[in-house]
Amino acid sequence: MDPQDKNASTSGPLPTVATAEASIKRLRKENATLRKELESLKTSVEGASGIEWEAEMDRGIVYSDGHSSTSALSAGRLLKQLSGLSKARSEAGRIRNSSDFSYLPQPSSDIHQLEADYVRWGYCLVAEAMSISQVAAQVDRLVDQAAAERQMELEAKTDPNGSSQLVNNLVLKGQIFRNAVEFSEVAAQKGPLVDVLLTKIMGEGFGLGCAHGSIVHQGGGLQELHIDQGMMPMPYPPYPFGSLIIWCYTDFDLESGGTYVVPGSHRTASGTTSFQPSVDLLSLVDGDPGLVSICAPPGTCIITDTRVLHCGGKRLKEGTRYAMRCHYNRGFIRALHEQSSANIHVPKDVYDVLSPRMKQMMGISVYSSGQIGEQSVASLGSTS
Ligand SMILES: O=C(O)CCC(=O)C(=O)O
Ligand SMILES: [Fe+2]
């Protein structure tokens, strides 16, 4: 050992450096102990639930809710608890503007704020996502298309008294809408920011479920409270399957028929999805802040988690609420939605101008975001 350096701040003899062999031996031993510990911590899947194979085989093919052939409607059965509630609350004046609550999402361009709002409340509001002139161009085309569909008596009505109209399959009805659907800055100045957020939510290569124009006149627009992944069999994993986004073309608030939402009804802080087979949905609706109407100026893009309880709001005042609603799904989920038939027939003149991304979003081209699953195992290398 070298003589001790008297200038060193340490006192006493310097430690002896172990030889490489001794270190390797010690680390090998430590490694073996840790591996053993890990093994003992792994719980066996077998026998964990106490359910016997015989009984399970006897039950046959059933989902957890016991309705095999209609399990995709399991959320619907639960939502029956809330049937008529949005109407009753609207008539009783029990729905408040989201702007009454300073802690609820406000329009923002700050990605950290937007992500925080989305995580905490199940939605966020991208400020000035479309400019006023971009909104005007979209509304012009939508109004035109809606009039043509009425004239041909082909319009989709969502209220029996004609107080609203849906213009389905917008991707087939104009480049201006396709540009918005694929977040081009030509149609939406903050489209790229919306794209980044949706990619964070659903992963790369997410697809389009539907894109439609929503036209709501006075007295129209009210829907039953629902979640947008209701067609998925329960129980749900701790993440959303998709995201509905709403491009606000006109003002959103209680009087205008702004979307009703139960902020925070999508998940708990620990990440569990609130919407479970045993959940008391009314207690979710009556929590804090309860049922509110989203307030946002024209040009805002509302991004929602498909697990959050919400519904179309009733327009109380004169005039018309215009919006475009686009539902996106994780890439492996087939691009379809109850209101969309966009992929059943794509006219050749439209097909010819679809961008590669639009085709991918519509499920027309192969979904593959590179290496997936078993294909990528080799690239992981050895873990031992
Ligand atoms: O238009 C709205 O405000 C909400 C619509 C909605 O919830 C839906 O289409 O799933
Ligand atoms: Fe919805």
Retrieve residue 9's tokens. 């701040």
Report which protein residue has its CA nearest ligand 1's atom 5: 312
Q: Considering the domain boundaries, does residue 353 fall inside one?
A: yes
User: What's the CA gap between 232 and 338, in Å, rounded?
Assistant: 13
Q: Which bound ligand lies closest to the C-alpha atom of 257?
A: 1
Q: Considering the domain boundaries, does residue 303 fall inside one?
A: yes
Q: Considering the domain boundaries, does residue 372 fall inside one?
A: no
| Secondary structure (H, E, C), the chain | CCCCCCCCCCCCCCCCCCCHHHHHHHHHHHHHHHHHHHHHHCCCCCCCCCCCHHHHHHHCCCCCCCCHHHHHHHHHHHHHHHCCHHHHHHHCCCCEEHHHCCCCCCCECCHHHHHHHHHHHCEEEECCCCCHHHHHHHHHHHHHHHHHHHHCCCCEECCCCCCEEEECCHHHCCHHHHHHHCCCCCCCCCHHHHHHHHHHHHCCCCEEEEEEEEEEECCCCCCCCECCCCCCCCCCCCCCCEEEEEEECCCECCCCCCCEECCCCCECCCCCECCCCCCCHHHHHCCCCCCEECCECCCCEEEECCCCCEECCCCCCCCEEEEEEEEEECCCCCCCCCCCCCCCCCCHHHHCCCCHHHHHHCCCCCCCCCCCHHHHHHHHCCCC
The domain total for the chain is 1
337 close to ligand 1 (CB < 6 Angstrom): no
CA of 327 to the centre of ligand 1 (A): 10
Q: Which of 306, 309, 329, 189 is nearest to 261 (CA)?
A: 309
* Residue 339 alpha carbon, nearest atom of ligand 1: 9
Candidate of 159, 216, 223 to mutate for ligand 1, largest count of ligand atoms within 8 Å of Cβ: 223
Q: Which bound ligand lies closest to the C-alpha atom of 214?
A: 1
Report which protein residue has its CA nearest ligand 1's atom 2: 312
Percent of the chain topping pLDDT 90: 67
Q: CB–CB of 274/266 below 8 Å? A: yes
Give the tens place of pLDDT for each residue, 194-233: 999 999 999 999 999 999 999 999 999 999 999 999 888 8
CA of 83 to the centre of ligand 1 (A): 16
214 close to ligand 1 (CB < 6 Angstrom): yes
320 close to ligand 1 (CB < 6 Angstrom): no
Q: What is the pLDDT of residue 5?
A: 46
Q: Which bound ligand lies closest to the C-alpha atom of 260?
A: 1
Query: Is 60 exceeded by the pLDDT of residue 378?
Result: no
User: What's the CA gap between 169 and 106, in Å, rounded?
Assistant: 30
* For residues 118-133, average pLDDT: 98
Query: Is 80 exceeded by the pLDDT of residue 384?
Result: no
Q: Considering the domain boundaries, does residue 6 fall inside one?
A: no
* For residues 271-299, average pLDDT: 94
311 close to ligand 1 (CB < 6 Angstrom): yes
CA of 275 to the centre of ligand 2 (A): 15
User: What's the CA gap between 296 and 251, in Å, rounded?
Assistant: 6
Surface-to-core class of residue 205, CB atoms within 10 Å of its CB (0-12 exposed, 13-18 middle, 19+ buried): middle
* Residue 323 alpha carbon, nearest atom of ligand 1: 1
* Residue 221 alpha carbon, nearest atom of ligand 1: 1
Q: Considering the domain boundaries, does residue 178 fall inside one?
A: yes
Start-to-end CA distance of the chain, whole Å, equals 37
* Residue 257 alpha carbon, nearest atom of ligand 1: 3
Burial 45-80 (b: 16+ CB within 10 A, else e): eeeeeeeeeeeeeeeeeebebeeeeebebbbeebbe
Domain carrying residue 278:
98-366
Report which protein residue has its CA nearest ligand 1's atom 7: 311
Query: Is 90 exceeded by the pLDDT of residue 129?
Result: yes
Return left, alpha or beta for 381; rule: phi > 0 is left, psi -120 to 50 is alpha, else beta.
left
Q: Considering the domain boundaries, does residue 229 fall inside one?
A: yes
Percent of the chain topping pLDDT 70: 86
CA of 239 to the centre of ligand 1 (A): 20
Query: Is 50 exceeded by the pLDDT of residue 382?
Result: no
User: What's the CA gap between 135 and 139, in Å, rounded?
Assistant: 6
User: What's the CA gap between 27 and 33, in Å, rounded?
Assistant: 10
Give the tens place of pLDDT for each residue, 305-357: 999 999 999 999 999 999 999 999 998 887 656 667 887 889 999 999 999 99
* Residue 252 alpha carbon, nearest atom of ligand 1: 3
Q: CB–CB of 271/189 below 8 Å? A: no
> At residue 131, what is the residue type?
S
Report which protein residue has its CA nearest ligand 1's atom 10: 228
**CATH code of the domain covering residue 152:** 2.60.120.620
Q: Considering the domain boundaries, does residue 34 fall inside one?
A: no
Q: What is the pLDDT of residue 338?
A: 60
Q: Considering the domain boundaries, does residue 9 fall inside one?
A: no
